[in-house]
Amino acid sequence: MEGREYMYSPAVPEGRYEIFTCQQPPQTARKKKNKIVNKSRFSAEQIKSLESSFETETRLEPRKKVQLARELGLQPRQIAIWFQNRRARWKSKQIENEYKTLKDNYDNLASQFESLKKEKQSLLIQLQILGDLLEKTHGGNEDSKGLEGKSAVCTSNNVNTNSETKAKLSCFQKGMEGSAVMCPHEDKTGIGNSAEEGQGLLNMTEHVHVPFASLEKWYTYDSCGLLDQLCSSSY
């Protein structure tokens, strides 16, 4: 199809350039809506030249347009239209790319959110188990009474815990990490009294298959502010 160009009917709209063939007469002219059009694509060389011009500047000065038209054997009007269409294509490509980027970001965040949700569930289950265990170990203890019901509350997504429970959880975590770290509440709860106890709890956590390293992540990704509360709670 290279080499063929445009042939418009004499019925050219007022103020418009008449676009005509430079090399060949119209072979396949068709009549439609007052227009006789022999439309074909620009040649590879023409496109190449237009593209390289577009790379340097997306808008053409009138002088440059005329010069380019002369070089390529086209009408200045054709050059102008080509640049208009090219800008439109460029813009839609930009929008497409932006959409792609946004979608990728969204997908990443969504999958992060999902895995955090699962992790949260695991931790809540873990919390429940620990609460039950505390209750069993220190059944008559006043403090364990305080923990009563907390585990049940924690089974829902809507975690409703008080600072005491949070402090216990925090102590428990410290016990896991340091094995013998003393807890501010040790006199009341008895948790963290010895390295043995800490180790025992560690074994328990292994039993429920919840990695404690994930708690670290919680501090980073906590989205509902629970851990902020936990960390800032006074005890």
Partner DNA sequence: ATCGCATTTCAAGTTACCTCA
Partner DNA sequence: TTTGAGGTAACTTGAAATGCG
Applying CB under 7 A, the residues found at the interface with DNA are: 1, 5-6, 8, 12-13, 15-16, 19, 28, 30-33, 35, 37-42, 47, 59-60, 62, 77-78, 80-89, 91
Give CA–CA dist 95/171, Å, rounded.
Answer: 51
Looking at beta carbons only, is 96 or 177 nearer to DNA? Answer: 96
User: Exposed, middle or buried by CB within 10 Å (0-12, 13-18, 19+), for 40?
Assistant: middle
| Minimum gap (Å) between residue 101 Cβ and DNA | 20
3-class secondary structure for 155-212?
Answer: CCCCCCCCHHHHHHHHHHHHHHHHCCCCCCCHHHHCCCCCHHHHHHHHHHHHHCCCCC
CB contact burial 75-84 (16+ within 10 A = b; e otherwise): bbebbbebbe
| Minimum gap (Å) between residue 56 Cβ and DNA | 14
Looking at beta carbons only, is 18 or 164 nearer to DNA? Answer: 18
| Minimum gap (Å) between residue 97 Cβ and DNA | 15
| Minimum gap (Å) between residue 75 Cβ and DNA | 8
| Minimum gap (Å) between residue 71 Cβ and DNA | 15
Looking at beta carbons only, is 57 or 187 nearer to DNA? Answer: 57
State the Cα torsion 72-41-55-82 to the nearest 10°: 80
Locate tokens 């039993």: which residue?
207
Looking at beta carbons only, is 33 or 209 nearer to DNA? Answer: 33
CA atoms within 13 A on the CB side of 65: 15
| Minimum gap (Å) between residue 106 Cβ and DNA | 24
Looking at beta carbons only, is 44 or 213 nearer to DNA? Answer: 44
Looking at beta carbons only, is 5 or 189 nearer to DNA? Answer: 5
CA atoms within 13 A on the CB side of 102: 6
